[in-house]
Amino acid sequence: MSGREHPAEDRDARAAFPVLRWLALGWLLVYVPTYAWAYGWANFLFLCNAGVMLTAVSLFYGDRLLLSSQAIAAPVIALAWMLDAGWKVVTDDFLFGGAAYMWNPYNPLFARGLSLYHLAWPVVLYYALRKLGYDRRGWPLQAAIAAVFMALAYAYTSPAANINFAFVAPIFDRPLGPPLLHLLLSWLALAGVGYGVTDLLCRRLFPVQVAGNPPLA
């Protein structure tokens, strides 16, 4: 990112969201302490929770690259969450358990309600990138972010939590091999296949930019 090299362009990018940037900041001020109290700090290692925080920060600063990286992640994560929650509603069972906490009565209702951000997150990113354009460096950046957060989940959290499916694959309900091989294959599937599809989608939906935050029309 080149914010210090192009201060005028950065000011223009921030001006793209005169109201939304403050709503994003307000969201963070409510979301972070609520989730930390309800679920603990390790919960922020989930790619969805890290992603929605990065999205809020990037909206506040008008950062097109960071917004683009989260536009790569959000459709994959939100679709998986909605499929799991919808499966529960229709069949009274979970597809892979990623949304199981929503039905846990021991989790505070307000915190569970905040998890509905999974529905709004891709929509907000769509709006943002329609205004700023898509930075194609978002794919490698998000692949790197995913690698870091999956590695941290593997190194510092319990296998029972299975954060970012670092220990057990969804659907199959088993590891994809020895621990490090499972981690690598899971990352390749997410960053290569899942993010590859959303990168193609973003290139079709939004004007593609290469670097910097160009002035708004």
Please check whether residue 113 lies inside any domain of the structure. Answer: yes
DSSP secondary structure string, 2-37?
-TTT-HHHHHHHHTT-TTHHHHHHHHHHHHHHHHHH
Global confidence as pTM: 0.88
Angle, helices 195-205 vs 117-132, to 10°: value is: 50
Backbone angles phi, psi at 135, to 5 degrees: -95, 115
**Residue 67, domain extent:** 7-209
Q: Does a structural domain hold residue 214? A: no
pLDDT of 4 strictly over 90 = no
Sign for the pseudo-dihedral over CA of 94, 42, 52, 112: positive
Neighbours of 7 (CB within 10 A): 10
The string of pLDDT tens digits covering residues 190-213 is 999 999 999 999 999 999 876 654
Q: Is 215 a domain residue?
A: no
Kindly state whether residue 202 falls inside one of the protein's structural domains. yes
pLDDT of residue 7: 54
The Cα 69–Cα 51 span in angstroms is 9
Contact 80, 47 (CB under 8 A): no
Q: What is the pLDDT of residues 43-65, one digit of tens each?
A: 999 999 999 999 999 999 999 99
DSSP designation for 124:
H
The number of domains in the chain is: 1
Q: Residue 176: its pLDDT value, please? A: 92
Q: Is residue 12 situated within a structural domain?
A: yes
